[in-house]
Amino acid sequence: MGEEEERSARIHLQENEEKGASSEEQRERRYEQLFKQLDLNQDGRVDITELRLGLDKRGVHRGKAEEVRIVLESDTNRDGQLDFQEFSEFLRSHEKRLWLMFKSLDRNSDGRIDAGEIQHALHKLGMNVTLEQATRILQSMDRDGTMTIDWSDWREHFLFNPLHNMEEILQHWKHSCMLDIGEALTVPDEFSERERRAGLVWRQLVAGAMAGAVSRTGTAPLDRLKVFLQVHGAASRGQNLWAGLRGMVQEGGVLSLWRGNGINVLKIAPESAIKFMAYEQIKCVLHGSKEGGPLRVQERFLAGSLAGATAQTIIYPMEVLKTRLTLRRTGQYSGLLDCARHILRTEGVGAFYRGYLPNTLGIIPYAGIDLAVYETLKNAWLQRYSVNTADPGVLVLLACGTVSSTCGQLASYPLSLVRTRMQAQAVSEDKHKLTMVGQFRHIVSHEGVPGLYRGLTPNFLKVIPAVSISYVVYEHAKKVLGAAS
């Protein structure tokens, strides 16, 4: 911060304090009051633990990294604690920075920031948000319901958030206010150029792959049971979950419950990477420029569906191998390569893409409904219950993700079942292969419409644990990899 800017910030702060907030003495008293609230053991020092607990009591929830940053930046004598002088110096210096940022946002210099000014500022930083999204950001800071932010609102909101410039404010809004997450299970998140250069993209992808691996391994028995019920159809009618699991254990032991899980885990990393790269390229095509901002909901649905189709096209042979290994009897194949050689020798290359059409068609209703339901539920919750913040919170996001994923699966499940039946078809003299339409007709004629939803129960049972496990592992993996936002 230059001398002229610092002088300007000091003058404006003093003017503002005199008009509506307080005098210099009152400001010092405010600092003293804040310090006493944070100094829980009343020893004249505030350490990181006291800062965290004190901020929690005030309803200010910050990440551990931000609290450490406040102490490190303000601890001039390097004793790991803040005395009152260090604390007040931090607040005074930080308020100057906040004032300059507030002034840069207040384009018409009326002492208030509205949603349009927030939208304009984000646009200048390369992030195109809708007025509705800008309004949600504003609502997270608007304490009096005027739909504008004055200096007092701005200062109180960011007082204990050590942000130095508008770029850091942008990242705070993006990740804290959940601007562009949406269909987390379907469409990749969007990253800024700065995040790409910092390697955040690949750390996020690795964290996602780790989360997916643990999640799929944890729910593999239910997934294998679902595939069995899908394939065996009418033969499994009336069989309950426990009977199905017991039968698999009796046939091949407890470890047989995880058959096919190895390749299911193996394909996560390439599928995620291909999906992300395809999504980025499709986004560039839709915007006609590599500097295009975030996509609108309709564009994200299109880009997400096409990216998913691209990834599935490339890794689809692994899907077929996963289904065959899941259904294999004890001793049928010695491993992945043996299964692949057997399919190639007896059925030809085309067998590796059996069921591809219903699989690809299923992406469209799944991606569309998953995205639409997620956005609808999240926005409805924000409008009804989120008065003082634009962050719905982890539990709400998990609930929205679970419901949206369930609705998406419900719509695309018949196509998923037909795909699995086609993948499982093997060459035999007395059984000809059915096409997608043929499979639909066969299932409906022999099992009725409910037959199209065979195996749906174990599929639904695994949704909540899968989402929960995935989220917990993902958050921990991000911290380990240094990708936590």
The domains found in the chain, sorted by start residue, are: 3-176 (1.10.238.10), 193-481 (1.50.40.10)
CA 408 to chain centre: 17
- Rounded to a whole number, what is the largest CA-CA distance in the chain? 94
CA distance linking residue 477 with residue 479, whole number of Å: 5
Contacts of 41 (CB under 8 A, 6+ apart): 50
Mean pLDDT, 10 residues at a time, over the chain (485 residues)? 55 52 69 82 81 68 55 73 82 81 84 84 69 74 78 78 64 46 39 58 77 88 88 63 84 88 87 79 70 59 80 90 88 87 90 90 78 75 63 70 82 90 67 82 89 87 80 76 61
Q: What is the DSSP letter of 106?
A: -
Predicted pLDDT at 20: 45
> In angstroms, what CA-CA distances link 353 with 286, 336, 361, 472?
29, 17, 14, 34
C-alpha 199/C-alpha 201 separation (Å) is 5
> What phi, psi does 344 have (nearest 5°)?
-65, -40
**Cα 7 from chain centre:** 42
The CA distance from 148 to 110, in Å, is 11
CB within 8 A of 173, min separation 6: which ones? 122, 137, 179
Q: Percentages helix, strand, coil for the chain, rounded to the nearest 5?
A: 70, 0, 25
Q: What is the DSSP letter of 113?
A: E
Cα–Cα distances in Å, from 74 out to 69, 84, 204, 256?
8, 11, 31, 58
- Kindly state the helix (H) or strand (E) to which residue 137 belongs, with its residue range: helix 131-139
Instruction: Give, in order, the Cα–Cα distances in Å from 59 to each of 149, 156, 159, 390.
Output: 19, 12, 13, 15
What pLDDT score was predicted for residue 392?
A: 63
pLDDT for the residue 7: 56
Contact 180, 174 (CB under 8 A): yes
Structure tokens at 406: 């369930």
8 A C-beta contact, residue 271 and residue 311: yes
Q: Looking at the chain, how many residues does it have?
A: 485
- Round to whole Å and give the CA distance between 61 and 67: 10
To 10 degrees, the CA torsion angle through 474, 480, 481, 484? 60
Amino acid identity of residue 189, one-letter, is D
Q: Which residues, 6 or more positions from 341, have their beta carbon under 8 angstroms from its beta carbon?
A: none
Give the pLDDT score at 317.
93
Kindly provide the b/e burial profile for residues 23-50, where b requires at least 16 CB atoms within 10 angstroms of the residue's own CB. eeeebeeebeebbeebbeeeeebbbbeb
